[in-house]
Structures are given as structure tokens and as C-alpha cells.
Chain A
Amino acid sequence: MQLRQPRPLRPLISLVPLIDVMLILLVFFMVTSTFLDLDMFPTVGGNDLQTSRSEATDQVNLTPVLLRLNSNGRVTTQGRSYDVNELGEILALRLSEVPATEILLLPSPAASLQSLIDVMDRVTQVGAQNLRVIRLEARQ
């Protein structure tokens, strides 16, 4: 006669509380999290575009380029008005001659933030190393 050894009983640990807790956490994170993908443009500190005159000031023949951002989003420099793409071509030409050219951007208070970002974008894309935004005065 063969005696079968009884199987040891498996410990019964209820998984229900675990699932409850995990579902609560899951719902919590789903509800409270935001999933916006955001970038930034540093305007103070930590940005070479903004703060540095760097080595550029040590070089000769570094006349800065002054860009005036108008309220309609166009940029005026040296008496002529350009859209952002045309501006990119002009700046690219200038930067190919003098790569460390400092670019000063004077925005109109009535210009939109998007137009400022567009110009900063374009200037960065053409390889400018020194971009300074001339700030408007703080409110008194």
C-alpha cells in the first residue's frame, strides 16, 4: 500500500488588499499627473545666449547687430524690416563672417511672446552665440 503524503497547505495571503491599494494609487497618479511636454528658454542665468558677452568682447570688429522686434512680429534691423525667415538668412550670412557677433534684441512691448520666441528660435538656429534681449523696464 502506498501512502501519499499530504501536500502542505499553501499559505493563503489575500491579494485583494494589494490590488485595492494599487488601484487607488493608480487612479491617484492618473488624476493628479500632468503630461505636458514642456521646454524652456532661460532668460536669467544659466544661459550663454543671454548672459555672456564671452570671448566676443575680446575680439576686434564686433559691432553688435541690433534687432527691433515690432508689434506685428517683423524684425527691423539697419532700417529694413524682415520676417523671421529672412532674418535668419541675413544673420546666417553675418555670422559666417563673424561668428561671435553679438545680437541685441529689442522687443516692442506690444509684440507677442510667440513672436519673441520665434526670433530667439531663429537666431539660435543660425548659430548665434551671443544673444541678449534688452529688457523692458520694470513697472514702478
Chain B
Amino acid sequence: MKLRAQTRRPHHETIIALIDVVFFLLVFFMLIGRMEATAPFDVVPPIAQTGSDLPAGGLAISVDNDGALALGDTLVEHDALLAHVAEAITHQPDKLIRVTANGSTRLQQVLPLVAEIEALGAKEVALVVTPDPT
């Protein structure tokens, strides 16, 4: 008598759990992360305890210690930056303009720029700070 070997049932890996995890991670990163251009140089904003929440969006201006300026992720000259800001403000006067600079940056690199942006008619200009972790 010949016994037939039992055919093995294909082992179905459940991929539902994988999809759940991937989907969870996807939603997590979509909600938590910010999709913003970063400056082409390292900027470490000053630490503050009483800053208010920074809303997303707006124009991101970065200032390096040596006075180099960046708009979003692009290095720009001073005049080109102001021209871009002026154009943006024309279309949307209350557009938030975020100025990010190192904590060690001298104020002579930052405050005159803020004053110039204000003189262009900007209504919302903010200095970006890092919340104090303690």
C-alpha cells in the first residue's frame, strides 16, 4: 500500500499586522513631523522658557553668525531677501516671517534685519527660539 504524503498547506503569513504597523507609523510621521526647508548652514536657536508656539508656514529666514542669510533652504543676498519679503508681504501682509539665528549671533546681525522687514510693512515677525527642556 502506498501512502500519499500529506500535502503541506501553504503557510500564510498574516500581513495585516504589518500593514497596521506601517500605517500607524505613516500617520505618526505625517502628524508629528514638519515639512520645512532647513537652512543651508547650521542654526541653533536660543533657548527660551516663555516662548509661544510657533505656527507652521510663513517665510523662514535664517541668519548665520557671519551675517549670511538664507530664505528657506537657499542662500540669498541681503537685497534679494528683502525684495522677496516685500513681494510676499504685498500679497499677504500678515504673513508670518520667522527669523532664526544662533543664540550666539550678535544682535547687530539680527535686529537691523528685523527692523528692515518691519519697515517693508510686515505685520508678523517672530524670533525663533528653542523651548527650555527643563
**Is the C-beta of A2 less than 8 angstroms from some C-beta in chain B?**
no
Q: Which of A30, A33, A125 has the most CB of B within 10 A?
A: A33
Contact between A19 and B114, CB atoms less than 8 A apart? no
Report the minimum CB–CB distance from A16 to chain B (whole Å): 8
Contact between B116 and A44, CB atoms less than 8 A apart? no
**Is the C-beta of A79 less than 8 angstroms from some C-beta in chain B?**
no
Q: B108's contact among A25, A34, A45, A110, by CB below 8 Å, is which?
A: A110
Contact between B53 and A39, CB atoms less than 8 A apart? yes
Contact between A114 and B26, CB atoms less than 8 A apart? no
**Is the C-beta of B35 less than 8 angstroms from some C-beta in chain A?**
yes
Contact between A44 and B130, CB atoms less than 8 A apart? no
Report the minimum CB–CB distance from B40 to chain A (whole Å): 14
Q: B115's contact among A33, A34, A137, by CB below 8 Å, is which?
A: A137
Secondary structure of the B contact surface, majority rule: mixed
By a CB distance below 8 angstroms, the chain A residues around B117 are 44
Contact string against A for B residues 25-52, beta-carbon threshold 8 Å, 1 for contact and 0 otherwise:
1100110111110100000011111111
**Is the C-beta of B3 less than 8 angstroms from some C-beta in chain A?**
no
Secondary structure of the A contact surface, majority rule: mixed
**Is the C-beta of B131 less than 8 angstroms from some C-beta in chain A?**
yes
**Is the C-beta of A23 less than 8 angstroms from some C-beta in chain B?**
yes
By a CB distance below 8 angstroms, the chain A residues around B71 are none
Report the minimum CB–CB distance from B72 to chain A (whole Å): 13
Contact between A45 and B115, CB atoms less than 8 A apart? no
By a CB distance below 8 angstroms, the chain B residues around A39 are 48, 51-54, 128-131
**Is the C-beta of A67 less than 8 angstroms from some C-beta in chain B?**
no
What is the bound-complex CA distance between A36 and B52, given in angstroms? 15
Contact between A22 and B128, CB atoms less than 8 A apart? no
User: Which of A56-64, A93-101, A116-124 is found at the contact surface with chain B?
Assistant: A116-124
**Is the C-beta of A3 less than 8 angstroms from some C-beta in chain B?**
no
Contact between B124 and A111, CB atoms less than 8 A apart? no
**Is the C-beta of A52 less than 8 angstroms from some C-beta in chain B?**
no
What is the bound-complex CA distance between A19 and B15, given in angstroms? 9
Name B's A-contacting residues (CB within 8 A). 15, 18-19, 22-23, 25-26, 29-30, 32-36, 38, 45-54, 78, 94, 98-99, 101-108, 110-119, 122-131
Name A's B-contacting residues (CB within 8 A). 15, 18-19, 22-23, 25-26, 29-30, 32-46, 107-114, 116-118, 120-121, 124-125, 133, 135-139
Q: List 14 A-B contacts (CB under 8 A).
A: A34-B35, A34-B36, A39-B48, A43-B114, A43-B126, A44-B118, A45-B124, A109-B108, A110-B107, A113-B104, A117-B103, A121-B50, A138-B113, A138-B119
